[in-house]
Structure 1
């Protein structure tokens, strides 16, 4: 095979082809078999196999996370800068913090299920998944409930911008959210000593390298904890609810044993990833499969393929609760493994337990298929479900 540098005019696939966007999971499965390291103008070097992805994640010296022009704290940082920020951020997701937040998370999730129409059809994304993600993340951050409606409207605008594929529209919507965060910080500062002692307030009082954390750094962190999570968390609940609706025997098993819900969630999200991809950049020439990729080129790690690799999981569509959890890349691996994984697992587990406890059955609606999300989002744009209480 020629090296990557000689393949620039030879696209192995088109990630934006209609058939890929219509059924991305099947397309990624096909690429994993036919061309496990593939070049395209859009995603550059896409990596599909579990072994290659894991090798990249565990080698932060050769595969840098500084792969974007936008600085993201700590996602786009390498050691030692990354290590200092993780030491600051990780305690926010400690077991003690999760235990402290759990009752409020339960209150929100139980309330959302109680508000759903009884014995009727819901649109799982906008009736449940998006409100769930918005309310739980706002509660964790300590943000006012008055923000729920404007932020939900912002989610609608963000989804419309994604569908438009307009970079200018997507950038404008992102800037709008940053302005919202800056407004929250300004209001907190105006309160002085009367500001609430919550996650946002504590973050505003942090120091790094012996200096106060700057506003731009706080905005970057809060953007990751909100914008980065709102879509992924909503996608996760939509994917799981839709999957359960097609597997009534699994619903019954989980209703009888709610302690299995967390492991079931991770397995369902292995089968159908809520997050498609991340980026890396080689710091030196690297060999992946039969391709040589030069330093500075872009690599797209395709989570949605790696977690379905037959070489690791056998039949990727087989649901099993006895898999080795260390093989599941749902929350990443290596030094950049998701710091918010404990919160995500708590929130998703609580939401699905609440949904199962509040229903007798969840069914798909004949003649009304779920509409897939559009890359870079995953899951569903719409997912009609029928609930029986």
Structure 2
């Protein structure tokens, strides 16, 4: 007989996938720690998520048998790898990337129709995410389309939960990165001075990083960048199109953009969940979880918790930023948060500067993305470009 509890909900049901944010809001009130066959134990409340983030002795990040550097590690192992990764996102390096990021944003914005319909996700947001990731890593342009296809297959494999499909997708990505590393080794001193080349020279303790570790680091950066940046751009544009007064206010005063972006992405999370595993029996949210239990931290719910934010749909620019879990918290706070904030600020600055209006297309509602993605899989908008 199975020791697993009876499911409290079905995260792959039509009712949930039709509007994930609304479904998680309902679960937060009805069953804040809920079991399902697909996501195991889901944690919906802000306080419970913060508790998990702060207690890595009880809730481990080691959730996979594959190497995952550094987000799939716990201290003390995590500490050394995190120290290695953080300089790649140092303030001076992020600021140095702004001109190239802006150049990409301007090029894509100026391609938008003067006064016509555009499918924003496929024709803008995904292109932006692909191009800035390749630019930041020093990758050739001909890698963009393979990465686009790989992102779709990775999402599909996660949704189906098929281990064989997930392994095949991971192997495919490993091949891309190993090929880039081999090229740089072959040309030696003539290799470009980019992040990929620099990783080849990194050491952990008294040894160089293995290719497996480098591939893991790059995979984590890429999955986070391609999925969440594209989703974030779609969420931001949709919100401003739905609230034209706010769109115009930000167009007139872009200094408010950084705070506005974080608040909009609190309302509608670009990343749905992350995983943990329980090290020892624990009670949380009124439920007892045994050692070995797998849990999913539902960011898309925690950041809308009424006990912390009041009306979760109220847009405010005066919230305490330390309460926003957009980039996580604690020792696993996203190391690329500053880079993501710069990229989103720059692309939204250019969108607002080069348009006099962005509106939703009547009769063409956006199509919401399905788990594990967030945001929209299709977002038709009209863009009215400046003359």
TM tier relative to shorter chain:
over 0.9
Per-residue Cα deviation, 1:20-56 (whole angstroms, up to 9, x for no partner): 0111111100000011011111111111000000011
Match of residue 50, structure 1, among 43, 46, 51? 46
- 1:331-384, Cα deviation, whole Å (9 max, x unpaired): 000100100101111111111111111110000111111111111111111111
Matched, 1:217 2:217: no
1:251 aligns with 2:253: no
Matches of 1:363 and 1:166, distance apart in 2: 39
**Aligned partners of 1:7 and 1:39 also within 8 Å:** no
- Secondary structure of 2:96's aligned partner: helix
Contact 1:125 1:238 (C-alpha < 8 Å) held by counterparts = yes
What are the within-5 Å matches in structure 2 for residues 62-141 of structure 1? 62-141=58-137
**CA RMSD in angstroms, aligned pairs only:** 1.6
Task: Structure 2 unaligned segments of length 5 or more: list them.
Answer: none
Q: Which residue of 2 aligns with 1:300?
A: 296
Q: Does 1:275 align with 2:274?
A: no
Change in 2 beyond 3 A, CA 1:79/1:10: same
Counterpart check, 1:347 vs 2:308: no
- Structure 1: how far apart are the matches of 2:375 and 2:64? 24
Q: Distance in 2 between matches of 1:127 and 1:167?
A: 31
Residues 189-338 of structure 1 mapped to structure 2, 5 A cutoff? 189-338=185-334
Q: Using the TM superposition, give the Cα deviation of residue 170 of structure 1 relative to its aligned residue in structure 2, in angstroms.
A: 4.1
TM-score with structure 1 length normalisation? 0.95
Q: State the alpha-carbon separation in 2 of the partners of residues 240 and 131 from structure 1.
A: 16
TM-score with structure 2 length normalisation? 0.96
Deviation at 1:260, TM superposition (A): 1.2
Segments of 5+ residues of structure 1 without an aligned counterpart are none
The aligned residue for residue 384 of structure 1 is 380
CA-to-aligned-CA distance 1:174-196 (integer Å, 9 cap, x gap) = 32122111111111111111001
For residues 19 and 64 of structure 2, the distance between their equivalents in structure 1, rounded to whole angstroms, comes to 27
**Cα distance change on mapping 1:165 and 1:124 into 2, 3 Å:** farther
- With over 3 angstroms needed to count, the CA separation of the structure-2 counterparts of 1:103 and 1:326, relative to structure 1, is same
Give the whole-Å Cα distance in 2 for the aligned partners of 1:254 and 1:69.
46
CA deviation string 1:91-111 (max 9, x = no partner): 111111011111111111111
Question: Tell me, what secondary structure is at the counterpart of 2:276?
Answer: strand
**Of 49, 55, 61, which residue of structure 1 is paired with 2:57?**
61
C-alpha displacement at 1:155, in angstroms?
A: 3.4
Q: How many residues matched?
A: 385
